[in-house]
Amino acid sequence: MKNALFFLLAGLPFINAQYGNSNDNSMTTTVSSTTSSTAVSASSTVHKIDVGEDGFTFSPNTLTVSPGEKVEFHFYPQNHSVIQASFDNPCHPINDSSFSSGFVPTTKESTSVFTITINDTSPLWYYCGQIGHCQAGMVGVINPP
Ligand SMILES: *[C@@H]1O[C@H](CO)[C@@H](O)[C@H](O)[C@H]1NC(C)=O
Ligand SMILES: *[C@@H]1O[C@H](CO)[C@@H](O)[C@H](O)[C@H]1NC(C)=O
Ligand SMILES: *[C@@H]1O[C@H](CO)[C@@H](O)[C@H](O)[C@H]1NC(C)=O
Ligand SMILES: [Cu+2]
């Protein structure tokens, strides 16, 4: 499995090249949220990762994100998830506080979007928790080392 992951990661620069600059997939949006008492609005860079749009893939599967920026996972058919892993154990939750989207079954692009905020530049490895998907290569990394 370690060798398999190494093989995958060794291919990342080529995969990434298909997207050109990985920042092409980012966009600047205005994010508004309403709490019970106040409405806040902040402009920030939001990076988008498509989950399962093209088979067992995260697109892009490697992304460099600055602290304070957000990453949105957009889910495509059929029934995927996103869970934080460690490099050494890529198909298992890193620990009890791993981020995890839960499963998102859908027949078209889901309206459920899983958003995480990046707090630092340390690598965040993640995988799809659906049976067999991680083993099929459905893994990715934010801020690769
Ligand atoms: C889980 O792993 C993350 C990343 O290594 C670490 O920051 C966090 O403290 C860990 N949490 C627990 C409960 O071990
Ligand atoms: C999605 O996958 C999970 C895990 O395999 C499963 O428990 C759940 O029933 C699936 N949902 C649908 C609607 O297929
Ligand atoms: C970033 O920090 C917030 C607030 O402590 C926390 O809720 C969130 O899970 C952190 N993001 C990641 C990717 O660990
Ligand atoms: Cu999957």
> Which parts of 35-130 are beta strand (E)?
39-51, 58-59, 62-63, 70-75, 79-80, 83-85, 104-105, 113-117, 124-127
Q: What percent of the chain has pLDDT over 70?
A: 70
Closest ligand to 98 CA?
1
CA distance 80 to 106: 9
What pLDDT score was predicted for residue 44?
73
CA distance 143 to 125: 9
Cα 9 to ligand 4 centroid, rounded to whole Å: 18
Whether ligand 2 lies within 6 angstroms of the CB of 107 is answered as no
Which domains, ranges and CATH numbers included, belong to the chain?
Answer: 2-36+44-142 (2.60.40.420)
Residue type, 49: I
pLDDT tens-digit map of 106-138: 999 999 999 999 999 999 999 999 999 999 999
- The H-or-E segment that residue 141 falls in is strand 139-142
Atom of ligand 2 nearest to the CA of 131: 5
pTM over 0.85: no
